[in-house]
Each structure stands twice: as C-alpha cells, then as structure tokens.
Amino acid sequence: MSLPPLKGNQKRVIIVGAGFAGLKLAELLPIDLFQVILIDKNNYHQFQPLLYQVATSGLEPSNICFPLRKVFQNKWNVYMRFTEVTGVNQEAKTIDTGIGTIPYDYLILAYGAVTNFFNNEMVEKNSYSMKSVSEALLLRNTLLQNYEKALSAQSDEERDELLNVVIVGGGPTGVELAGAISEMRNKILPKDYSEINFREMKVYLIEAGPKLLGAMSDKSGNTVQDYLEHLGVSVIKGNAVKNFDGRIVELADGTSLHSNTLIWAAGVKGSKLKGLSDEMYSRSTRLLVDEYSAVKGTDGIYAIGDIAQMETKEYPKGHPQVAQVALQQAACLAKNMVNPFKGKSKIPFQYKDKGSLATVGRNKAVADIKKLKLRGFIAWFVWMAVHLISIIGVKNKFFVVTNWVWQYFTYDPSLRLIIRAKYRKP
C-alpha cells in the first residue's frame, strides 16, 4: 500500500481507533517529529456518551458525529485510512489491514471496547446494544416500529411484548436510557398514539449488583433509583438475565418478563488482535500495559483508552473505561513520545479523577465531584455543560444545545423518524 514519504527525521506512528484516546493523541503529536497514520472503520468520530439520545429520538446522529478529515484539515502530518486492522507482525513492525500492510515505528492501539454479553449467545443474538451510531439508530427504529405494530396487535400479550422495554445494566448508559424512554412514555407517546394506553407500558431496569451506578457513591445510586421510580421505571437489583428468546426475558431467580426489546448495557470487554499473544491480555480481554502505556512484552506497541488495562495500587483492575481516562492517557503518552527527543525522561501515568456524572432526565441528575455530591437541577446543568464542551465542532454544539432547549420547554423531541436502510440488489 502506498504511503506518503516521511519528512526529515519523522517517525511513523500508526494509531488504531479514532475515539477519545486516538483522536487526542493524533492532535498532540508534533508535526516535525511524527507522521501519523490514523486508522478507523468509520470516517467520523462519534461522541458515545450521547448515543442514548440518538436512540430515543432526542438528537440526530450528525449532532454527535464529526468527520475525521475535517478535524485534521490543518495538520498535514496526519493521514487517514478507513479500514479494519486484522493483525500485527511484531518482528517486521507492520500491521495487516483490509487495504494492505503498513510499517510502523510506533503502534498505538486505541480501538476501544465491545459489548460484553458474558458468553450468552441467545442474549447476544436477540438483544440490542449501544456502542455505535448504527446500533443507536437500529434501536430508535425498533422502538418506533414497535409502537406502530402495537396499534394492530391481536392480543394484550402481543401488545405488551411490543411496548415493554427491558434494560440490563445499572451503569450510566442503562440509567440514562431508562430515564429517556420513561420520559417519552409519560410525555410524548400518549400524544402521538392516542389509541394506546401507555400506562400499561413497562420499563424495567435490571442490575445484577446491589446498587445502581456502582462506580459512584451510594448516595448517588440511591438518588438515581428514586428518580427512576418516580418516572415509573421498575428497578430490579441483585438479579441477572439468564436467557432471552426475543419475547421472554428469563431472570436468574426464575421470574420472567414479557418484551421483545431487550437493551444490553451490562458491560464491555476488549477484543483480541492477531499477532498479540494471549498473555498480553487480561481476563476481560484488555491489553495489559505498564505505567507508560506500553503493552507488556512488546517493543514500540502502546495501548490507551478502553482497550488498555493499567493495573496500579489505586486501580488493581485497571482504570475505569471513561472518556477522561482515555484523554489523560493520550496526553501523557504524547509527552512521553516527545520527551526522548528533548533529552527528558518519561513520566508515569497518574489518573486525575475529575468526577462522575449521570442523568435520568429533565432536572434529574447526580454528580460526584471528589467530596462534593450534587443532585437535581444543579447536577443536571453540570452534566449538560460538561458534555456540551466535549462535543467536537461549533455547529454540533449549537444543534445539541438547541435541541436540548427545545425539549426542555416543549417536552417534544421532534426526531421520531423511522429511517430504514435500503440496499442495492447485487
């Protein structure tokens, strides 16, 4: 595969993945020292924390996505290839991709994580996940199609299965989805579908652990549960999904729920890359790295973001898989890649926890910022501000805040469109 020539003393850095970590690193590496080849399957960066709003008709996909080529229009040392990486040759220092073999001086793996179904094949086959824009759009279409089908349901049981929604996982994604779907049920759907009694629609949130938002304080977890129950969500804790056949959700305690929409937000895991040995991965399939983000047992290969597991005294199972960790790891690695050229020593990564946020809906959110515990409107405002600042692009920020303001005063997200993909016949 043809590549642009290196200029001067540049080293070639291949970054696999254009999420928070990969994008940040590509932006920080200086032009005179590094040529950057950024590889991703998509030609855009997606803001994953707001995928649930795409799924619930609150935002358009374009509001939370930004073209990668536009990001790097003014940085001539960054080149993009949109393909999939299939393997690594450590001896030759090359990677194999769908468009050919690419040599590297440094390889940065930042390709994130995938949904963890915990080897439950039936759940994986029949449920919906929330790791990409395409998955969010599929869920949006499914929810809206179910309401249309419910109008012609032949029995109460069939209608219940179409209307009921089961969300598995009490982390931020599960909590935010449950809140958004419940607000739609309470405020929007009765106006759109006057023939349906939405008081019979059930929204379940199932968490296998003892509390919601396990990474946050007990106070925040309890507050969120109160918010959800006030919205009419049935919160089930200390129980797990055993099986799902597309119609009936079987729980570990023997009970069952009727629904054809199961949304799986119960965890993520890494994925293995050919050419890297099993010893380089943790039990959760994350790459084991040292305090400098170097993949253990390799030369010139680093991992940052969700795919990396850096085990420290404070975080024996690795850092939380959140955006702030990814951004900070990218910034630290960028410094460590430049420091040798300046005669400076590398610095170990130290995570600075800036706090955790989660929202349930209008004026309902929680924030743990060190010892400060916020709730209600103030936490909700902080949540909005942090997410708005993090979105790439002035236009995207404008459209997001406009949609939020409109929905705040009208309770009416206007993006309830069923858009079916049409494929050309072979």
So which residues are the catalytic ones? 176
Query: In whole angstroms, what is the distance from residue 377 CA to residue 374 CA?
Result: 9
Place of tokens 């049920």: 185
- Burial class of 90 by CB neighbour count within 10 A (0 to 12, 13 to 18, 19+): middle
Query: In whole angstroms, what is the distance from residue 369 CA to residue 339 CA?
Result: 32
Give the type of residue at 114: V
SS3 390: helix
Query: In whole angstroms, what is the distance from residue 262 CA to residue 379 CA?
Result: 29
Which DSSP string do the residues of 59-95 spell out, in sequence order? S-GGGSEEEHHHHTTT-TTEEEEES-EEEEETTTTEE
Element spanning 361, H or E:
strand 356-361
For residue 290, CA distances in Å to 28, 273, 298, 382 come to 21, 19, 11, 34
Residues 6 or more apart whose CB falls under 8 angstroms from that of 252 comprise: 239, 240, 241, 242
CB-CB contact of 196 with 151 (8 Å): yes
- Burial class of 1 by CB neighbour count within 10 A (0 to 12, 13 to 18, 19+): exposed
